[in-house]
Structure 1
Amino acid sequence: MRRSRRLSVSAAVALGASMALLAPLPAQASPPTAPDVPGTVVSAYFADWDVYSRGYFVKDIPATKLNVIQYAFGVPDLDPTTGAASCKVLDPWADYQQVYWTGENTVDGVADNPDDLDQHLFGNFNQLRKLKAAHPNLKVEISLGGWTKSTWFSSLAATPQLRQSFVASCIDTFIKGNLPGGGWPAGAGGPGAAAGLFDGIDLDWEYPTQVAGGNVDVSPADRHNATLLAAEFRRQLDAYGVGTGKHYLLTAALPAATSSTTYYELKEFSRYLDWDNVMTYDFNVPSGPKASPNTLFTPDPRDPNAANLTWNTAGTVAYYLLHGVPANKIVVGVPFYGQQYLRTGTANHGLYQAFDNAGTDSDVLTVDVTPQPSYHALVDEGGYVDAAGVTGGAGYTAYWNRLAGEPYLFNPAAAHPGLTTGPATVPTMIAYSSPRSIGERTKLIKALHLRGAMAWEISQDSNSHTLIGALTPLLG
């Protein structure tokens, strides 16, 4: 009973902060939802590399706890020699060529037959098709870009001709399902191989006007060109839908806080979307000055960016509303991973203390040395916290930051045998998401009649699906 009361107080604080910022804003009518589109969204990314990294397969997705899957990623591409725009699969093997020799890792227990020339889909695409057949209300989008594959977005959005040809290629590859053939198995791919699999497109341009993970030709014009690109996607998707009798989703992953209007014409861009997936996380990362929360629910004056009142989930939601995005287009992002800080001070159990992450490795999955451990790693591998996120283990104690509305772990002498430099036992603070902190988002979404929630990403949840389970009440 005490825990429920504290959650309600946190939700009320968030709501009050939002309403205070919204006071000058007149009431807005929300636009109607298109037919055959989820009225409330619980969405999660599934990455094509999950089958390699964790050995997490489509069959492991808890399809009863969500209604949208965003498949990461498709690749926007531009041939620098010919200037031809295209939209490609990221990993043909994992996406549609990988043979499941037994039924062990399949949705329906049925193995693939690579000798069957009539089987044109294998890998994740085939399993997603099976998952949709078992759950008819489930929608699957292809997400384009991401941090490392937004390279050509600026160029592709720069002219009407490139926008038209790029969008047409994306629709051809992912909506019409015309996949490249000629590989192995011999029947894999080909015209219409993935037809009907994807229900829409999610734009993940990181970020207009800014160099992120290798973008080229960025320009101040990107901000308006992003709006023109969204308009072109909406136009072509709608035109194709006339023939199929289907509304195709168009969504986007958008930044949090004031950066949203730096990169996007937020109101105008959102007009063309079914909803906005707002990335209300990574407010603090291990390149920052202090060991701080990954995602703040409400403002914390101790945070390094506390002067920015939008640098938290409630503040970001208020900012979006103030800038003309209707409530029923706002989907709140939550991370299923944390931020790990080593060699912290011991004051305040490491929270907001200086740290030194030398010797960690961002490419590894081992919980003790990665700067961003998944909830699965914290719970199921390291045993640092229980599945409910409230009881620490392996020398860690769980604490609650009541101002930010976030949990964190602290171990004054945590063992890190995988470190490549310095002592292997050091004070460690880990900021993470828990069912309690995600439950606060659920209450905020309901209170403000927002569209729903989005998670990055589903394989990072615990084996018992406790984080996505904290969002599931939105569907009921």
Structure 2
Amino acid sequence: MINLNKHTAFKKTAKFFLGLSLLLSVIVPSFTLQPATAEAADSYKIVGYYPSWAAYGRNYNVADIDPTKVTHINYAFADICWNGIHGNPDPSGPNPVTWTCQNEKSQTINVPNGTIVLGDPWIDTGKTFAGDTWDQPIAGNINQLNKLKQTNPNLKTIISVGGWTWSNRFSDVAATAATREVFANSAVDFLRKYNFDGVDLDWEYPVSGGLDGNSKRPEDKQNYTLLLSKIREKLDAAGAVDGKKYLLTIASGASATYAANTELAKIAAIVDWINIMTYDFNGAWQKISAHNAPLNYDPAASAAGVPDANAFNVAAGAQGHLDAGVPAAKLVLGVPFYGRGWDGCAQAGNGQYQTCTGGSSVGTWEAGSFDFYDLEANYINKNGYTRYWNDTAKVPYLYNASNKRFISYDDAESIGYKTAYIKSKGLGGAMFWELSGDRNKTLQNKLKADLPTGGTVPPVDTTAPSVPGNARSTGVTANSVTLAWNASTDNVGVTGYNVYNGANLATSVTGTTATISGLTAGTSYTFTVKAKDAAGNLSAASNAVTVSTTAQPGGDTQAPTAPTNLVSTAQTTSSITLSWSASTDNVGVTGYDVYNGTTLATTVTGTTATISGLAADTSYTFTVKAKDAAGNVSAASNAVSVKTAAETTNPGVSAWQVNTAYTAGQLVTYNGKTYKCLQPHTSLAGWEPSNVPALWQLQ
């Protein structure tokens, strides 16, 4: 479940990861780099985005990040659950797919509309990396991010929600007090559960813009402020309990339209800072070659017909935010670690500001977009490409006279002018999209050298927290035990506690209480607690607490009510999805057994289930029974008969296989369904098309 998303300032319609069209409409006054008039800060922020899908075909893992080069890592992206699903079905988007909302174990969950959920549970929390153990509650990219704090304990990690593809529900969430409350509460839960230090909202865009199918309304302008205010309220309350400061940031568009559609001054008073996306000013959505992120306005661009060149540059975008009331120290300037290219550009001006045949037909991962490390290795003054410099816009560009390809990009020299601009304006620092684009750390080294981040990286923390004291039971039922203990201390700081049932990890919490549920009545259990810190050090175990759950008086013999309204909500050639209305019980319903005829097909805790491995074009009859902790089972629900979809024949399409090289656009079949390859890669076990939507799109 990958958000195939590119973090952009201006996009109207999108291609895979990167949008390939742009709505250019409103002109703002131009601004140029002026002599320094603001005091340089002692400590700047360097914020790097890491997209979850980088760990797939791009083969750039969290462990490849140097955490000493950045102050904050924004993990992209989490999504918003609505009516039990997340994703964006808009056919104009780069990945028009939806999935059921799932937890860290890839189990379907039933949560209120507006809840923040994992974007890709397998890569986010499920995939095991070197050093992971079978019993740890969280694996995947998120656990790897937490490990980076062992190298740089000053590092802060932030979960970014939405992005270009997944902004379809923001307007609905912001529209009512109830959904704003749900979103804000879920933000706190998400940060606590996965050990993030803050939340970043990447709503593209309020009121207008973004994908055509996104929810949007004129009231977004005021509602966005209300949503952020509610999140701030909940984060501050949680921080007071947890003894830490939770961060709240947004990613903003750089256009005058964005400033007009938001209350930037009010937003700036609420958030910790704003990451302005000062890039993607020009691209393959237009036929004339121009620069991806020009610092200054170049009159030659306007003379050549580049759309809105006086407004679409870094200085104008940043000044627009400052003029709208954003304090300079709360504005973090966006820098792209990629370039954009055009083909068929006339040789005049070395391809710059020329009419071209269209966007480049090649790129690093998708046509028209070139990661900086790829430009270093294969393009800059190599293979027929010559580097040129625009001294007005303060950006480099490449031109190949043989194939007539023009590429605009940023390098260490242009970033040097942008860091000088940051200092001259007293801005808060730099943000970049994204870490995998600079594998040689060339651009990160430049940002780090130019923008002091304050302090030094402390040595690796190897000191474990003290042992939790006075572990005790504070409540017992037939099915649960509540424990409490005295807080531990640590040389850096305690981040949480692991509670063990015997030798097995029962739960992890950030506070000093925990309730362990799902226990058997009248049974003895022994619990211990260990404290942990950000470096991963675990304390010794607390004193053991042995406690017995209570026996049900006379035994609970009352079965739950039968589930009702069983219906089928989706069918494929090999699966059927069901939903039903919840049962009730005198003690509590613990789950549901779903039957295919008389055979148990699956057991779930929520009120939806997907039964897979079915034959195409075949009828099946399902019923559902509820159960409680005492083992009582309800009568069966109403029966529902439903047929799987018929097979679609695809002559010449081969079955998916492991250890096979696939190219973008290639079709394969898997479990009776046809998939299209989205990124070139060599297949591995575990990368089956149904498991990895970043690589395969269901047809």
Q: 2: CA distance between counterparts of 1:318 and 1:287?
A: 25
2:425 equivalent among 430, 433, 448 = 448
Q: 1: CA distance between counterparts of 2:34 and 2:258?
A: 21
Letter in 2 for 1:41: K
Shift of 1:214: 5.2
Shift of 1:269: 1.5
Name the counterpart of 1:371: 368
Give the secondary structure class of the aligned counterpart of 1:297. coil
Q: Does 1:434 align with 2:434?
A: no
Shift of 1:347: 0.6
Give the secondary structure class of the aligned counterpart of 1:338. strand
Query: Is contact 2:47-2:71 (8 Å) kept?
Result: yes
Q: 1: CA distance between counterparts of 2:79 and 2:207?
A: 19
Name the counterpart of 1:411: 400
Shift of 1:83: 6.8
Q: Does 1:72 align with 2:76?
A: yes
Letter in 2 for 1:57: N
Name the counterpart of 1:470: 446
Name the counterpart of 1:188: none
Name the counterpart of 1:185: none
Q: Does 1:168 align with 2:166?
A: no
Name the counterpart of 2:157: 140
Shift of 1:365: 3.8
Q: 1: CA distance between counterparts of 2:140 and 2:34?
A: 44
Query: Is contact 1:300-1:306 (8 Å) kept?
Result: no
Which range moved further: 141-150 or 213-222? 213-222
Letter in 1 for 2:398: L
Query: Is contact 2:347-2:401 (8 Å) kept?
Result: yes
Letter in 2 for 1:237: L
Q: 1: CA distance between counterparts of 2:266 and 2:311?
A: 20
Give the secondary structure class of the aligned counterpart of 1:285. coil
Give the secondary structure class of the aligned counterpart of 1:167. helix
Letter in 1 for 2:282: N
For 1:235-314, list aligned pairs within 5 A: 235-303=233-301, 304=305, 309-314=310-315
Name the counterpart of 1:155: 172
For 1:227-242, list aligned pairs within 5 A: 227-242=225-240
**1:329–1:215: structure 2 CA closer, same or farther, 3 Å change rule?**
farther
Could you list the per-position Cα deviations for residues 229-286 of structure 1 after superposition, in whole angstroms to 9, with x for gaps in the alignment? 1111111101111101111110110011312313311111121111110000011111
Q: What TM-score do you get using the length of structure 1 for normalisation?
A: 0.78
Name the counterpart of 1:61: 65
Query: Is contact 1:70-1:142 (8 Å) kept?
Result: yes
Give the secondary structure class of the aligned counterpart of 2:384. coil
Shift of 1:216: 2.9
Q: 2: CA distance between counterparts of 1:281 and 1:40?
A: 20
Q: Does 1:401 align with 2:390?
A: yes
Letter in 1 for 2:132: D
Give the secondary structure class of the aligned counterpart of 1:125. helix
Letter in 2 for 1:85: G
Name the counterpart of 2:132: 112
Query: Is contact 1:345-1:354 (8 Å) kept?
Result: yes
Task: Give the structure with the larger helix fraction.
Answer: 1
2:204 equivalent among 195, 203, 206 = 206
**1:216–1:313: structure 2 CA closer, same or farther, 3 Å change rule?**
closer
Could you list the per-position Cα deviations for residues 198-242 of structure 1 after superposition, in whole angstroms to 9, with x for gaps in the alignment? 100001000001241354331111111111111111111011111
Q: Structure 2: any 5+ residue segments left out of the alignment? A: 1-30, 86-110, 454-699
Equivalent pairs counted in the alignment come to 394
Matched residues, percent identical? 37
**1:358–1:205: structure 2 CA closer, same or farther, 3 Å change rule?**
closer
Shift of 1:338: 0.6
Could you list the per-position Cα deviations for residues 105-151 of structure 1 after superposition, in whole angstroms to 9, with x for gaps in the alignment? xxxxxx2222xx3x111111111111012211000000000000111
Q: 2: CA distance between counterparts of 1:14 and 1:229?
A: 35
Letter in 1 for 2:421: L
Query: Is contact 1:151-1:214 (8 Å) kept?
Result: no
Which range moved further: 329-338 or 215-224? 215-224
Q: 2: CA distance between counterparts of 1:359 and 1:448?
A: 35
**1:217–1:89: structure 2 CA closer, same or farther, 3 Å change rule?**
same
Give the secondary structure class of the aligned counterpart of 2:175. coil
Letter in 1 for 2:237: A
Q: 2: CA distance between counterparts of 1:336 and 1:235?
A: 34
Name the counterpart of 1:129: 146
Shift of 1:309: 3.9
Shift of 1:321: 1.6
Task: Give the structure with the larger strand fraction.
Answer: 2
Name the counterpart of 2:221: 223
1:384 equivalent among 371, 376, 379 = 379
Q: Structure 1: any 5+ residue segments left out of the alignment? A: 1-11, 20-26, 104-110, 178-193, 386-391, 414-425
RMSD, aligned α-carbons: 2.5
Could you list the per-position Cα deviations for residues 277-313 of structure 1 after superposition, in whole angstroms to 9, with x for gaps in the alignment? 0000011111023110000101111324575644211
Comparing both chains, which one has the higher relative contact order based on Cα–Cα distances under 8 Å and sequence gaps of 6 or more?
1
Could you list the per-position Cα deviations for residues 60-95 of structure 1 after superposition, in whole angstroms to 9, with x for gaps in the alignment? 112111110000001022217997221111111111
Query: Is contact 2:284-2:342 (8 Å) kept?
Result: yes
Letter in 2 for 1:112: D
Letter in 2 for 1:400: W
Q: 2: CA distance between counterparts of 1:309 and 1:350?
A: 20
**1:240–1:270: structure 2 CA closer, same or farther, 3 Å change rule?**
same
Q: 2: CA distance between counterparts of 1:254 and 1:339?
A: 21
Letter in 2 for 1:459: S
Q: 2: CA distance between counterparts of 1:402 and 1:333?
A: 20
Shift of 1:359: 7.9
Q: 2: CA distance between counterparts of 1:215 and 1:43?
A: 30
Could you list the per-position Cα deviations for residues 308-351 of structure 1 after superposition, in whole angstroms to 9, with x for gaps in the alignment? 64421122222222221111001000000111100111110110
Name the counterpart of 1:181: none
**1:258–1:359: structure 2 CA closer, same or farther, 3 Å change rule?**
closer
Query: Is contact 2:342-2:356 (8 Å) kept?
Result: yes
Q: 2: CA distance between counterparts of 1:347 and 1:305?
A: 15
Name the counterpart of 1:47: 51
Q: What TM-score do you get using the length of structure 2 for normalisation?
A: 0.54
Q: 2: CA distance between counterparts of 1:305 and 1:261?
A: 22
Q: 2: CA distance between counterparts of 1:164 and 1:320?
A: 28
Give the secondary structure class of the aligned counterpart of 1:74. strand
Query: Is contact 1:305-1:311 (8 Å) kept?
Result: no
Q: 1: CA distance between counterparts of 2:260 and 2:174?
A: 17
Q: 2: CA distance between counterparts of 1:238 and 1:14?
A: 37
Query: Is contact 1:343-1:356 (8 Å) kept?
Result: yes
**1:90–1:308: structure 2 CA closer, same or farther, 3 Å change rule?**
same
Query: Is contact 2:50-2:435 (8 Å) kept?
Result: yes
Q: 2: CA distance between counterparts of 1:77 and 1:351?
A: 44
Show structure 1 runs of 4+ deviating over 6 A: 80-83
Give the secondary structure class of the aligned counterpart of 1:269. helix
Name the counterpart of 2:518: none
Letter in 2 for 1:93: W
**1:296–1:246: structure 2 CA closer, same or farther, 3 Å change rule?**
same
Give the secondary structure class of the aligned counterpart of 2:291. coil
Could you list the per-position Cα deviations for residues 180-202 of structure 1 after superposition, in whole angstroms to 9, with x for gaps in the alignment? xxxxxxxxxxxxxx2xx210000
Which range moved further: 234-243 or 211-220? 211-220
Query: Is contact 1:299-1:306 (8 Å) kept?
Result: no
1:94 equivalent among 123, 127, 147 = 123
